[in-house]
A and B are shown apart, each in its own frame.
Chain A
Amino acid sequence: MRNRTKMLILLGLAVASILLYVFYGLNGNFHYAFPRRLIKVFAMSLTGIAIAYSTVVFQTITHNRILTPSVMGLDALYMMVQTFIFYFFGSMSIFVINAKYNFLLAVSAMVIFALIFYRVLFKEGKRPIYFLLLVGMIVGTFLGSVTTFFQVLIDPNEFLSLQSKMFASFNNVNSDLVWLAAVVIIITFIYGWRHMNQLDVMSLGRDTAINLGVPYDKLVQRMLILSSVLIAVSTALVGPITFFGLIVANLSYQYFKTYKHSVIIIGSCVMSIVALVGGQWMVERIFNFDTTLSVIINFVGGVYFIYLLLKESRSAG
């Protein structure tokens, strides 16, 4: 019962931050600002949900609470795709100007990469999941280096416009894309909901999970693909922001103190809505756009990450 109260408090905070963002300082510009703000809130909520959900799922299948799906190298791939577009087609090409093409290209590149990656690695038979992570990290670093190489070669003016893709930003979210992303995220959520209780069992470890009738290895693959799709969609929508999932997932575990994924996942989704919408409000109204949300998130996230590492090492030692 106490968790229900906690959830209600969180929901209240989320509603409050959404109302604050949508209605604060709306004087006179209702017809112009209101729909635009709504779309932005919607985009932030979607991104928050996608990242929180995929991070919790990813942490459960890797049995590790300080990992995020970004170690699989998907954001690195996203940056490479964007850099290649700018390098080969230029900032005036249709893939840059038409947000829809850009979105579809980025999403399909990431999803296809993830599918091929898992197919190749899982085909080899039984490999520990850490092998997969290690390969993902190495591939991610490799893609990152290739990206940097091409960014050095790029025309400085082009690079400036590429830079806008390098940080997550909610300032120019395309409303058509938001709907597209919403459909994908809702479908994955419906699919994932049926496996929610199985995730609880998975956190007991492989042997116990199989003993209890959960097809562990199959489920790991499905959940990896699910979390990759979510990351791909949210990254293509607003830019790389995966780090953020680490904070909300861990906060949710600390706040709710339960093993039930249904509670943890919904909690972390609501938390990320609060953080993103509230954070964006601060960026816009307090910092007057002097900084971007992802800078704040990376700063807060980094501090929190160090805290986690210190805490883990203390409990291990």
Chain B
Amino acid sequence: MIQVKELSKYFGKKPVIQDVSVDVVPGKITSFIGPNGAGKSTLLSMVSRLLNADTGEVLLDKSDVRRWKSDDFAKRVSILKQSNYMNVRLTIRELVSFGRFPYSKGNLKPEDELKVDEAIQYMNLEEIQHNYLDELSGGQRQRAFIAMVIAQDTDYILLDEPLNNLDMKHSVQIMKILRKLVDELGKTVVIVLHDINFASVYSDHIVALKNGRVVKDGPTNDIINPDALKEIYDMDIPVQEQNGCRICVYFNS
């Protein structure tokens, strides 16, 4: 269980996150939504200890993330950021193998290879597993990174805008895989999303941030309605029901 308690973060004097408290519901997809600069990515970075909080704490199983041993933490929680610049040239398989690092410390055992195979299969990358990352399209690259996180085999998977720069087809593909991870493998996914309709259709739980504070926190259906959206985005957004999915028609509002 991940609990965020009264977390604050300042960049210089400017508050980016103020007094945020959130509980991540296990076994569900939780989306962080909100306008640009609301502090969604900063919050995710602090939950995954990429960034230290100024005040407050993040608890994993009731113990502060900063007190966890780094490789033990890496076996429980994984994070994928939006840009993954690398200095080295790797094949997909080599990248996915890195996902086993917390367990193998770089010397892969047969059971690690098995996990790598599974992850590659899960993301449908078998055919191109020996291709280099810089030869791939954006969608394939993103899938390769998600495969690494799957190989890492953590209970919690945090993703920072994984749909960035992806077209509709690939976005849907990624979201379906995340849904499958939760439904079939019992993972907990926390995801920062820009497109509110992806959040509406695929997530179980939504946390809405604005100016560094949580403005709404609840099951998806409580958030995706015109009143709540007005509060989050300052826009009148009509919501229409389509095949059981709530779609926000924000394009001309």
**Inter-chain contact total with CB atoms closer than 8 Å:** 71
Within 8 A of A (CB), among B80-124: 80-81, 84-90, 94, 98-99, 101-102, 105-107
A205 touches B84 (CB 8 A): yes
B106 touches A207 (CB 8 A): no
| A197-B84 contact in complex given A211-B48, A259-B89, C-beta closer than 8 Å | no
CB contacts (< 8 Å) of B94 on chain A: these are 259
B152 contacts chain A at the CB level, 8 A cutoff:
yes
A216 → chain B closest CB, angstroms: 9
Bound together, the chains give a CA A210 to CA B84 distance in angstroms of: 13
Contact of A213 among B74, B86, B87, B149 (CB under 8 A): B74
Contact with B along A180-221 (1 / 0, CB 8 A): 000000000000000011101101111110111111000000
B106 engages A208 (CB within 8 Å):
no
Given A197-B106, A201-B101, A215-B70, answer yes or no on A210-B86 (Cβ-Cβ < 8 Å): no
Q: How far is the CB of A123 from chain B (nearest CB, A)?
A: 15
Interface residue tally for chain B (C-beta within 8 Å): 31
- The answer to whether A211 touches B80 (Cβ under 8 A) is yes
Asked if A212 and B98 make an inter-chain contact with CB atoms under 8 angstroms apart, the answer reads yes
A208 near B105 (CB under 8 angstroms)?
A: no
Contact with A along B38-63 (1 / 0, CB 8 A): 00000000001110100000000000
Closest Cβ of chain A to B93, distance in Å, is: 12
Q: A197-B106, A259-B94 are in contact. Are A212 and B89 (CB under 8 A)?
A: no
Contact A213/B73 with A201-B101, A203-B87 known, Cβ cut-off 8 Å? yes
User: A133: shortest Cβ distance to chain B, in Å?
Assistant: 15
Give the dominant DSSP class at B's interface: loop
Report the bound CA distance from A215 to B52 in whole Å: 13
- Nearest residue in B to A60 (C-beta to C-beta)? B87
Residue from B48, B52, B105, B149 within 8 A of A197 (CB atoms) = B105
**A213 CA to B102 CA, complexed, in Å:** 6
Chain B hits for A311, CB < 8 A: none
- Kindly identify which residue among A203, A204, A214 contacts B70, using a CB–CB cutoff of 8 Å: A214
Q: Assess whether B106 is in contact with A200, with CB atoms less than 8 Å apart.
A: yes
B30 within 8 A of A: no
Whether A211 lies near B88 (C-beta < 8 A) is no
- Minimum CB–CB distance from A174 to chain B (whole Å) comes to 39
A211–B78 CB distance below 8 A: yes
Cα(A200)–Cα(B107), bound, Å: 12
Given A213-B74, A213-B102, A214-B70, the answer on whether A205 and B48 have CB atoms closer than 8 Å is: no
Closest residue of A by beta carbon distance from B94: A259
Q: Which residues of A contact B98 (CB under 8 A)?
A: 200-201, 204, 208, 212
Asked if A63 CB lies within 8 Å of chain B CBs, one says: yes
The interface residues of chain A lying within 8 Å CB-to-CB of B72 are 213
* B71 contacts chain A at the CB level, 8 A cutoff: yes
Give chain A nearest CB distance to B97 CB in angstroms.
Answer: 10
Contact indicator A212/B88 (Cβ below 8 Å):
no
Interface residues of B (CB under 8 A from A): 48-50, 52, 70-75, 78-81, 84-90, 94, 98-99, 101-102, 105-107, 149, 152
Chain A residues with CB under 8 Å of chain B are 60, 63, 65, 126, 196-198, 200-201, 203-208, 210-215, 257, 259
